[in-house]
């Protein structure tokens, strides 16, 4: 029963920040229906049109909201304008994480698919001795949150964008999800009793998922052991990101304490 509706909320970013966890956790809420796959409508499939996009959505009752997630939207220049043109009331969720650990996680994922890529260090710098970071490499560029956010603020007020801390999502999933539920105007249904901590993965898991009464952890690809990186490289990248992070904290009015 129900109708296919365009999403009222979209998890727009960021890649390797914890977007899958947010989607899996929020869809436990009885008033949320979420699209399980990433439709990539506002970046790759825009030419297919809004009716195609709508056709992908789950059916909802009047009391429910539709949510989708595609983390690459946050870094896609056209995405804010396109989403605004669909509905200026769309609520946006951005899951952010320390840009250095995010980049390492991103690299780790790529390495698992393409074992012969250059080293993390080689891709991160145009000239390491001069400390010149290569911002053309996607894994580095995504972490420049303050720059990408400027693009969104041309179309949406900050009040319509909610930032989830990827770090706190792991240490206090119920606390972070309480804020997400408040932002979406939902009753706080998802609480501590929904989570348990899986020590082997180092991740919180759901005690029972939306589709069955069984516990549900994120897939095998989540919680991968990161590649070991030279601490000096990490230090240089921290220095590089610091001014961007500070600007981001100031813009959103929240200190994520990435040091």
What pLDDT does residue 217 have? 85
Backbone phi and psi for residue 140, each to the nearest 5 degrees, phi listed first:
-80, -45
Q: What is the dihedral of CA 24, 26, 31, 37, to 10 degrees?
A: -40
Q: What is the pLDDT of residue 212?
A: 66
pLDDT band at 200 (very low <50, low <70, confident <90, very high): confident
pLDDT tier at 247, thresholds 50, 70, 90: very high
Widest CA span in the chain: 62
Domain assignments of the chain as residue spans, ordered by start: 3-100+135-220
Answer yes or no: is pLDDT of 106 > 90: yes
pLDDT of the residue at 164: 98
Residues of each annotated binding site for 3'-phosphoadenylyl sulfate? 16-20, 97, 105, 222-226
Using pLDDT thresholds of 50, 70 and 90, give the confidence band for residue 210: low
**pLDDT range class, residue 34, cuts 50, 70, 90:** very high
Is the pLDDT confidence value at 211 over 90? Answer: no
Average pLDDT, stretch 198-222? 78
CATH number of the 3-100+135-220 domain: 3.40.50.300
pLDDT higher for 100 or 220? 100
Q: Which of 15, 16, 69, 91 is catalytic?
A: 16
Q: Which residue has the higher pLDDT, 47 or 212?
A: 47
Check residue 166 and give its pLDDT: 98
Tens of pLDDT, residues 174-186:
999 999 999 999 9
How much is the pTM?
0.95
Residue labelled with tokens 């049109």: 49
Q: Which residues are annotated as a binding site?
A: 16-20, 97, 105, 222-226
For residue 124, pLDDT beyond 80: yes
Residue 113 catalytic?
A: no
Residue found under tokens 């992908």: 56
pLDDT for position 213: 66
- Residue 136 pLDDT: 98
Cα dihedral 225, 227, 229, 235, rounded to 10, equals -50
Give CA angle at 20 (122, 94), nearest 5°: 80
């Amino acid at each position: 029963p129900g109708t296919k509706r365009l999403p009222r909320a979209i998890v727009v970013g960021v890649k390797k920040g914890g977007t899958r966890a947010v989607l899996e956790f929020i869809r436990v809420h009885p008033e949320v229906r979420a699209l399980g796959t990433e439709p990539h409508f506002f970046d790759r499939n825009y030419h297919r049109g809004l009716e195609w996009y709508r056709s992908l959505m789950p059916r909802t009752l009047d009391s429910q909201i539709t949510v989708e997630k595609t983390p690459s939207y946050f870094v896609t220049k056209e995405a804010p304008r396109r989403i605004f043109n669909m509905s200026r009331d769309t609520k946006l969720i951005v899951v952010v994480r320390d840009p250095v650990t995010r980049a390492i996680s991103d690299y780790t994922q790529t390495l698992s698919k393409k074992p012969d890529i250059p080293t993390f260090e080689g891709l991160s710098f145009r000239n390491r001795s001069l400390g010149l970071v290569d911002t053309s490499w996607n894994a580095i560029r995504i972490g420049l949150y303050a720059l990408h956010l400027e693009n969104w603020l041309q179309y949406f007020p900050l009040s319509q964008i909610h930032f989830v801390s990827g770090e706190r999502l792991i240490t206090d999933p119920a606390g972070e999800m309480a804020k997400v539920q408040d932002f979406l105007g939902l009753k706080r249904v998802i609480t501590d009793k929904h989570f348990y901590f899986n020590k082997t993965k180092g991740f919180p898991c759901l005690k029972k998922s939306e589709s069955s009464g069984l516990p549900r952890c994120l897939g095998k690809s989540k919680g991968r052991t990161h590649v070991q990186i030279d601490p000096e490289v990490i230090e240089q990248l921290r220095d590089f990101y610091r001014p961007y992070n500070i600007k981001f904290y100031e813009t959103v009015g929240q200190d994520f304490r990435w040091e």
